[in-house]
Chains A and B, each alone.
Chain A
Amino acid sequence: MRTELGKVRGLGAAKSGSARWWMERVTSVALIPLSVWLLASLVSGVASSHAVLTEWIANPLVAVLLILFVAVAFYHAAMGLKVVVEDYVHEHGNKIASLLIIDFLAIVGALAGIVAVLKIAFGA
């Protein structure tokens, strides 16, 4: 005897599947310019010393782009990792636990990165 909820829990998105497919594409496209910008900045030496880096992040445009990069990258990473878990982890409890852990870690990671950027940007 299984409830309706018990049968479908952990099987993936219901009704919102196309929304996730779309967000995978939105975050991919957003990460194209954001990641190229960050890599080009790093290559040009913005991370070479604490003084140079903090002065760079003090520029509001840089802070906004860095925060965008962190938020979009963690969102994209969490979606990608969850697809892998859904494909390869078949045991019900393990699958749900893995999906939860990915979401929790992604949110904590994104918040930590954003707070770090804000702290530098506001010169605290």
Chain B
Amino acid sequence: MLVSILHRATGIGLSIVGAGILLWWLLAAASGEEAYGKFLELALHPFGLFVLFGLTAVFFQHFFSGLRHLYMDTGAGYEPARSRRMAALTIVGTVVLTLAVWAIIIFA
């Protein structure tokens, strides 16, 4: 139940904030070096990094709950115990992969 609601909430977030940042990134790059420098400056500002970190977590949550929905579309995974375990796994996967991605960005 929670994960199903999260799928909607994260989908709305990605559609608005994610799409906005994607466009801002591409349009800044297409506008030239100066505009892109401005984008990078804001993206790498602590608040920008906070937003990008949040967006990474929102992406992974939507990604994994989406995978769960696609799997359940096949008619599988409706047993209560199994359904709950998969829902919990989407959250574990989100936490692990978000931290892994940012560990790579920070340390590599």
Q: Give A residues with C-beta under 8 Å from B.
A: 25, 28-29, 32, 35, 39, 43, 47, 49-51, 53-54, 57, 66, 70, 73-74, 77-78, 80-81, 84, 109, 112-113, 115-117, 119-120
Nearest residue (CB) in B for A118 is B30
A85 to B63, CA, bound (A): 21
B19 and A77 form a contact (CB under 8 A): yes
Nearest residue (CB) in B for A57 is B29
Q: Give B residues with C-beta under 8 Å from A.
A: 8, 11-12, 14-15, 19, 22-23, 25-27, 29-30, 32-33, 36-37, 40, 56, 59, 63, 66-67, 69-70, 73, 101, 104-105
- Report the minimum CB–CB distance from B24 to chain A (whole Å): 10
Contact A50/B36 with A80-B11, A116-B29, A120-B29 known, Cβ cut-off 8 Å = yes
A113 and B22 form a contact (CB under 8 A): yes
**Interface SS, B side:** helix
Residue pairs across A and B with Cβ atoms less than 8 A apart, 28 shown, are A28-B69, A28-B70, A29-B70, A32-B63, A35-B59, A39-B56, A39-B101, A43-B101, A47-B25, A50-B32, A50-B33, A50-B36, A50-B37, A53-B36, A54-B29, A70-B26, A74-B19, A77-B19, A80-B11, A81-B15, A112-B23, A112-B27, A113-B23, A113-B27, A116-B29, A117-B26, A120-B29, A120-B30
A47 to B8, CA, bound (A): 29
A84 to B36, CA, bound (A): 34
